[in-house]
Structure 1
Amino acid sequence: MTRRELPDTWRGESYYGQPPLKNPQWDWKVSGYIAIAGLAGAAQALAWIGTRRDRDAFRGARRNANLIGLTGAATGSALLIADLKTPRRFYNMLRILRPTSPMSFGTYILGAFGVATAVSALGDISALRRRRAVARLADIAQAGAAISGAGAATYTAALMAATSNPYYAAAPRGLGAQFSTSSVAAGAAALALGERAGGRDKSAKQLEEVAAIAAVGHVGASLVAGRSRRAAGVERAVAGSAHKSEAADLLIAGALPIAGYALNRATGGRAPAAAVVGSLALIAGSFVMRHGILNKGKKAARRPDAAFGLAQPRNLPGTDRRRLGGRL
């Protein structure tokens, strides 16, 4: 590292003129992977829940969820391999399972999600669906895709929060809530678009209601996470970009879709275009939020005050703080 990697205006403490942390090299490929995996995983989980309640009404949603899941698993794997720079790294990650490593565990979650989704998709082939054994296997696989999909939608938050980056580590629960609510909102929005395209308005409205509730939850989770980062002294280190990014996130993934769904509901379903715009905004906002968080983590890594502030005893969990106090 060189002195130039510190902010130009930095005049405070540092490690011999260097940032205390290595800047994460993640770019749009990682944020794209996280967003796609979250959307695809949540879509499978929601479709499975829907088919448990009303199999016939959500038959189309199940079909679309399998398509979204296959596309998401393939695209997400490609983006992940591209970020790792060589396919052998992805293969090597599958050689050893370490439950304590979110990255190792997440690789297996992604693999299980892809396999379960592929088997579940067999049930969408009419010629194979007539065979009872195939239909039974596809139903079991759909449940597996839902469970692994829920993991794919959330494990990346645990992975990021487990790093030493102050912006990610300052609000681990808030980050998990942000990712999970955003994934549910985007997954429900994607399924709702498919239902609208297929003329299945009843199930589309139900999925849009889920998307709206998740969007409200995402707004709340973002505000709580921001409060945790401010309390840890991390938010002010990235104040300029953080405020702009957070405003864009709350607009695209919060206010706009909620307004669109509310308008369609208030008019008795006579404004489907507003609901479609809301769904598209949620899907776009899912990527915007994750990319913004990645970029703010990069900026925080270059600010020594963020790392030093998070390292203070007051930011340790209660048990660790008491143990540290006993040693002093």
Structure 2
Amino acid sequence: MSDSDVTREGLRGERTQREALTGAKAGRRRHRRGRGGRGGRGGRGEQPMVPEAEFSSYYGKPVLNKPTWKPLDIAGYLYLGGLAGASSLLAAGAGVTGRPALARPAKLGAAGAISLSLVALVHDLGRPARFLNMLRVFKPTSPMNVGSWVLSGYAPLALGAAAVDLTGRARRVGSLATAGAAVLGPAVATYTAVLLADTAVPSWHEGYRELPYVFAGSGATAAAGLALAATPAAQAGPARRMAALGAALELGTFQAMKHRMGLSAETFEQGKAHRLLRAAETLTAGGAALAVLSGRLRDRRLALAAGAALLSGSAALRFGVFHAGVASAKDPKYTVVPQRERLTAREG
């Protein structure tokens, strides 16, 4: 390397050092202006020195542990419980109004649905003994414990009502069993909503006010759908009315719930949950319309289509709500932001 090359390299190094020092001094001046508030020359006040917060996990861990429930088991358990409870209510009404062709499929539907619901629950728990252990005490403050007791009382009544209807014996006992199942039916159809809302999962917990009504409407549409598919049009009037009222309750309260929840409702509009819930809305609204139309036209094919749509729509809603809750537990912002908003509101 020649002397001129060495000189150029030296000058370039000195220039680089001067630029670095100048940049450092400018950075310190900006920092002092940012901290100085009103004392800064420009009078621009305090400047933010840190970026906006990004909600991320702590050491790679989520803020909440996502639910460990098996989707097929628990979402199916939610759906079948709603179908069973509302079917018992429909069966009691059919018995009082003298509609045996409507009462029988409703009773059989309630018995079959609650049996499958218990199978799904026990399969998720792993051992039947775990369900029985919940019955060792009665704890009114625990939705899980209360629900276990409700199921234990409801299941024998629903099964007994169906058995009496099939055999034709002990009709008095059957009537009492039908009435008892109808009394417990609304609790069976809705207590799972209270169970979900009692967790820390944001999209479930934030919907605690409306979710029981959403599940009540969903259970009613499922029971009405089963009855419409299995009952002659002449005796299916209560099922058609239940379909219309249940759809209105389910769709109306679900929209109100999403509007009130704010940020936590985002997971209802994303991914798999969004697809399921959009399908639920379409199927439920369409099924209710077909149910009403089938009554006017006395068309058996329309009644079958309405029943299939209502049953599918109710299932899609339960699975959609389940997946939305799991998604909200994975993302920290759905836990952190609502907590900060509530804290700010209290301080204000």
The normalised TM-score by structure 2 is: 0.78
Give, in angstroms, the shift of residue 125 of structure 1: 4.8
Identity of aligned residues (%): 28
Question: Can you list the C-alpha shifts for 1:149-187, whole angstroms capped at 9, x where unaligned?
Answer: 211100000000000000001111221111000101111
Give, in angstroms, the shift of residue 136 of structure 1: 2.3
Q: Which residue of 2 aligns with 1:32?
A: 76
CA distance in structure 1 between the aligned counterparts of 2:54 and 2:61, rounded to whole angstroms: 12
Residue among 264, 289, 311 paired with 1:234:
264
Residue among 49, 52, 58 paired with 1:15:
58
Q: Which residue of 2 aligns with 1:7?
A: none
Contact persistence 2:85–2:189 (CA under 8 A): yes
Aligned counterparts, 1:1-328, within 5 A: 11-26=54-69, 27-52=71-96, 54=97, 56=98, 58-126=99-167, 128=169, 134-196=170-232, 201-230=233-262, 233-236=263-266, 239-241=269-271, 242-254=273-285, 256-265=286-295, 268-312=296-340, 314=342
Contact persistence 1:237–1:303 (CA under 8 A): no
Counterpart AA for 2:114: A
CA distance in structure 2 between the aligned counterparts of 1:122 and 1:252, rounded to whole angstroms: 32
Cα separation, partners in 2 of 1:94 and 1:303, compared to 1, 3 Å: same
Contact persistence 2:224–2:310 (CA under 8 A): no
CA distance in structure 1 between the aligned counterparts of 2:149 and 2:112, rounded to whole angstroms: 18
Give, in angstroms, the shift of residue 51 of structure 1: 2.1
Cα separation, partners in 2 of 1:312 and 1:147, compared to 1, 3 Å: farther
Structure index of larger Rg: 2
CA distance in structure 2 between the aligned counterparts of 1:208 and 1:229, rounded to whole angstroms: 32
Greater Cα offset, 152-161 or 301-310? 301-310
Contact persistence 2:214–2:250 (CA under 8 A): yes
Cα separation, partners in 2 of 1:64 and 1:315, compared to 1, 3 Å: farther
Cα separation, partners in 2 of 1:73 and 1:83, compared to 1, 3 Å: same
Contact persistence 1:167–1:235 (CA under 8 A): yes
Q: What runs of 5+ residues in structure 2 fail to find an aligned partner?
A: 1-52
Cα separation, partners in 2 of 1:181 and 1:59, compared to 1, 3 Å: same
CA distance in structure 1 between the aligned counterparts of 2:67 and 2:166, rounded to whole angstroms: 43
Secondary structure of the residue aligned to 2:68 is coil
CA distance in structure 2 between the aligned counterparts of 1:207 and 1:237, rounded to whole angstroms: 33
Contact persistence 1:192–1:279 (CA under 8 A): yes
CA distance in structure 2 between the aligned counterparts of 1:312 and 1:143, rounded to whole angstroms: 48
CA distance in structure 1 between the aligned counterparts of 2:68 and 2:316, rounded to whole angstroms: 18
Q: Which residue of 2 aligns with 1:4?
A: none
Greater Cα offset, 273-282 or 38-47? 273-282
Contact persistence 2:240–2:292 (CA under 8 A): no
Contact persistence 1:238–1:300 (CA under 8 A): no
Contact persistence 2:228–2:306 (CA under 8 A): no
CA distance in structure 1 between the aligned counterparts of 2:182 and 2:95, rounded to whole angstroms: 11
CA distance in structure 2 between the aligned counterparts of 1:125 and 1:272, rounded to whole angstroms: 24
CA distance in structure 2 between the aligned counterparts of 1:270 and 1:51, rounded to whole angstroms: 22
Counterpart AA for 1:260: L
- RMSD over aligned Cα, in angstroms? 2.3
Give, in angstroms, the shift of residue 309 of structure 1: 2.2
Give, in angstroms, the shift of residue 304 of structure 1: 0.4
Secondary structure of the residue aligned to 1:227 is helix
| Aligned pairs, number | 294
**Structure possessing the higher relative contact order (Cα contacts under 8 Å, 6 or more residues apart):** 1
CA distance in structure 1 between the aligned counterparts of 2:298 and 2:101, rounded to whole angstroms: 23
Give, in angstroms, the shift of residue 220 of structure 1: 0.7
The normalised TM-score by structure 1 is: 0.82
Cα separation, partners in 2 of 1:272 and 1:139, compared to 1, 3 Å: same
Give, in angstroms, the shift of residue 188 of structure 1: 1.6
Question: Can you list the C-alpha shifts for 1:195-219, whole angstroms capped at 9, x where unaligned?
Answer: 13xxxx2221331122122112211
CA distance in structure 2 between the aligned counterparts of 1:288 and 1:315, rounded to whole angstroms: 35
Give, in angstroms, the shift of residue 263 of structure 1: 3.7
